[in-house]
Structure 1
C-alpha cells in the first residue's frame, strides 16, 4: 500500500482569498487521496512560526504550499518541492509561483463603473504594495482610454497614521473633495469597507454619490458593509487545484520546470454599493434599467425604445452621448456578462445557457462568446472552474 504524502500547508486560512485557494487544494487532495497536511497552529504551538525551518527539517514533508513567510528563502533552500502564492513581490525564484492577474481586475472594475454612466472616478489602495499599484495603474489606464481621469488616494506619510481609526479621517477628507457622483475602486474588500465607513462619517450616500467596488468578493466583509459591497470574484479554487496538480508532479519528479500559474478575475458580484445609474438623462437611465432587468428575456432595441418616451433615433443619440455606445452594444454587454457568470459559477450546459438567455441554440452562444472573448465557452469554463 502506498504511503501518505506529507504536505506542509503554510497558508493562513483566515482570509477569503486563501480559503478559496485552500478549497482547490483540498479538492485535489480528496481526488488523489494520499495527502496528509501539516499546518502550524501558533495558538497551540507558540514557537511554530519562529522555528518554522527547524520544524520542517524534523517533519521532512514531501511538498510545501506557502504564502510568503519571513523564512521563505531558507525554506526554498531546503530543496523540497514548493508552490508559493507571493504577495510582496511578483514571483519568487526557485518555486512554482501562483500569481493574480492584477491588470485584468483593474480593467474589469473600470468597465463596471463606466457602465453605470459615471464620469468621475477614483482609486483607494496602498501605495506601498506592488499589487495595489498594478490594480491602480490598469484601472486608471482604462478610465483614461475613454477620456476620463481617476483621482488616486495617497497614504498618509507617517506609518503611525495608517491604522484603521487614524486613517479614516484622511479618507473622509479625500472623499469630501472628489467631484460627485464618483465611482471608487478599492484595492480589496477591506479597503472598500473603509471607504464606505468614511462615506458614512461624511454623510455621503452610497451608491448615489459614491459607488464603491472592492476586490476578492469576501462574502463576510461584503455583507458587513452597509450597503453591501460589490466586489470582483477570482478563480481561487481553480488556482488552488492547479497549484496542487503542479506540486504533485514535482513530488513525483514529473515536472522539472517551475511554471507560473495564474488566478484570473471572473466577474463582478454586483451588490447595493454600485446599484445606481448615475446620469442626468432620465430616459437613458430608464432604458438601462430595462436592459439590465430584462437581460434574461432576449430583449431587442425596439422593445427598449418602447419603454421610453423617445424615438429610436433620439434615444440612440442620447445613449451614445451618455455612455459612448449604442443600445444594441449595451444589450450585448449585459448578455455577455450573464453568459460569463453562468459559465463561471454554474454547471449549466451551453445549450441550457442558450435557452435561459433566449439564444436560438448553443451554436449561437458559442459564436457570440468567442467573438467577444476570443475563446470558446467551454475553454473559458475550464479556466474558471476545477
Structure 2
C-alpha cells in the first residue's frame, strides 16, 4: 500500500497537486532525499504525496498504472515508471546517487566535486601516492575522475587490474581478493585509496587487516559514500565525502513544483556539490617523516584558526623559524605562514558554504582579525571575494544533457 502525505493546502480543503515519489525508501540516499522533500513541503503548500516504496526490479504497482497525478520524483530507472511518464512527456524529476549514463533530466550529486574533495584531503595530509580500484561498470567514471584529479595534483596513481576485466569485488571471489592483497602489498607506502563505493571500501579494509597493512598509517582509505552507518561501523571508521542528500530532495521538490506550474517537464541535469568530507580514522594520517613538520602541522591543525603565528609554531616545535620554514618548503611545498593562511581560508570556505553567517562572524571564526582582512586575503588566494565564493558554491551546477560533467 502506498503511503500518503498531505500539505496545508489539502488540509485546508483547497486543491492540491498530486505527486508520487517512486524510490527504494530503505536506502540511506533515499531517506536523505525524502527528508529534503519533507523540509520543502513544510515551507510550502499544495501537494498531496503518495510514496511508492519498491526495489528496482519490482513490478509497477496497479495504483500507479492507473494514477493520473501531476508529477513524479523518481529514484528508480525510467523503465520503472508507467509508459505515459517516460521520455520527458510529463513532469518527472529523477534523483540518483550517481548521474546515470542516459543523463535523465533531474538532480544528482556532483561526483567530480566529491572526488576532488577526497583527493585534496589526501594531498593536504602529505600523500603523493594513490591507488585506485575500479568498481562496477557504472562506477568506471568515478575511477577515471580519481586518476585525473590525483595526477593533476602531481601524484603517482596505480590502478588495480582485477583477474577478469569489469569484475566487481566480492567476498566469494577468492582470486580477486588474492590479487587485491598482492596489489596492496606491492604499493609504495604510504598510499591513499579513494574507494568507488562503500562495499568496495569495506573489502579493502578487510584485505588490509588480513595482510597486516596498517590503516591509515600505510594505507589511508576514503570513500565517496552513501551510507554513513556503514562508514561508522567499519574498522577503522571510514572517511567519507557525503552527498548533500537533503538538499537534493529540496531541490527536486522545488524543480518539480516549478515544472508542474509551468505545465512542462524538466529538460536539464543539475549537479549538487557534496555536503563536505567526514574525516574518520581510516584517513587520519600525516604522511610526513620529519618529526618537526609533524608537530608543526598538528599544532596548526589544532590552533590554526586562532592568532597562532609562524614564530609561535617554531618556538613550540623547538627549532628556528628559518629552519622550520626550509623544511616546510621542501616537504610540503609551502611555508608555515602559507599553511596557517591555508587553514584559515579552508575554514572560511566551509563557513561560507555551510552556514549563513555574516562576513564578520565568518572572519572571526576562521581566525582573521576582521572582515576586511578576510576579504583581502581570500580574494588574493582564491581569486574571488568571499561573497562571490558563497554565491558560486551554493547553487546547483547545471550541465547540458548529452555532455560530460567531469571536467571543470
Q: Classify the secondary structure of the residue corresponding to 1:23.
A: helix
After superposition, the C-alpha distances for 1:205-260 in whole angstroms (9 at most, x for unaligned) are 11111111111363211110111111112333222212211110111126665222
Contact 1:230/1:270 (<8 A) preserved: yes
Q: 1:68: which partner in 2? A: 76
Q: Is the 8 A contact 2:222 2:283 kept in 1?
A: yes
User: What is the deviation of 1:41?
Assistant: 3.7
Aligned to 1:221: 230
CA distance 1:192–1:341, shift in 2 (3 Å): farther
Q: Distance in 1 between matches of 2:392 and 2:108?
A: 18
| Alignment deviations for residues 91-111 of structure 1 (CA, whole Å, 9 cap, x no partner) | 545xx3213322222222111
Q: Secondary structure at the match of 2:347?
A: helix
Q: Which residue of 1 aligns with 2:100?
A: 89
1:153 to 2:160 alignment: yes
Residues in 2 aligned to 1:182 and 1:67: alpha-carbon distance in whole angstroms? 35
For 1:297, what is the secondary structure of its paired residue? coil
Cα 1:275–1:161 shift into 2, 3 Å: closer
Q: 1:78 to 1:117 in 2, by over 3 A?
A: closer
Shift in alpha-carbon separation, 1:220–1:367, aligned structure 2, 3 A? farther
Q: Deviations over 1:278-305 (max 9, x none)?
A: 1221111111111111123132222222
CA distance in 1, matches of 2:378, 2:35: 29
Pair 1:323 & 2:332 matched: yes
CA contact (8 A) 1:16 1:216 kept: no
Tell me the number of residue pairs that the alignment of Structure 1 and Structure 2 aligns.
376
- Give the alignment partner of residue 144 of structure 1, picking from 145, 151, 154: 151
Are residues 382 and 146 of structure 1, via their aligned partners in 2, closer, same or farther at CA, if it must alter by over 3 Å?
A: closer
Is there any run of 5+ residues in structure 1 with no aligned partner, and where?
A: none
CA distance in 2, matches of 1:352, 1:160: 50
Structure 2 unaligned residues grouped into runs of 5+: 1-12, 397-408
Q: Offset of 1:159 from its aligned partner?
A: 7.5
Contact 1:17 1:216 (C-alpha < 8 Å) held by counterparts: no
Match of 2:403 in 1: none
1:274 aligns with 2:280: no
Q: 1:330 to 1:189 in 2, by over 3 A?
A: farther
Q: Once superposed, what is the RMSD of the aligned Cα atoms?
A: 2.9
Report the Cα offset of residue 366 of structure 1: 4.2
How much has 1:147 moved relative to structure 2? 3.2
**In the alignment, does 2:224 pair up with 1:212?**
no
* 1:58 CA drift (Å): 0.9
Q: 1:358 to 1:147 in 2, by over 3 A?
A: closer
Counterpart in the other structure of 2:29: 17
CA, structure 1 residues 70+248, in 2 after alignment: closer, same or farther (shift >3 Å)?
closer
Would you say the 8 A contact 2:239–2:282 is kept in 1? yes
In the other structure, the counterpart of 2:51 is 39
CA contact (8 A) 2:23 2:53 kept: no
Tell whether the 8 Å contact from 1:61 to 1:80 is kept in structure 2 after alignment.
no
Q: Say if 1:112 and 1:24 are closer, same or farther in 2 by CA, change over 3 A.
A: same
Q: Pick closer, same or farther for the CA change 1:104–1:116 going to 2, 3 Å.
A: same
Query: What SS does the corresponding residue of 1:307 show, helix, strand or coil?
Result: helix
Cα distance, 1:339 vs. partner? 2.3
After TM superposition, the structure 1 stretch with the greater mean CA deviation from structure 2, 136-145 or 83-92, is 83-92
Matched, 1:188 2:203: no
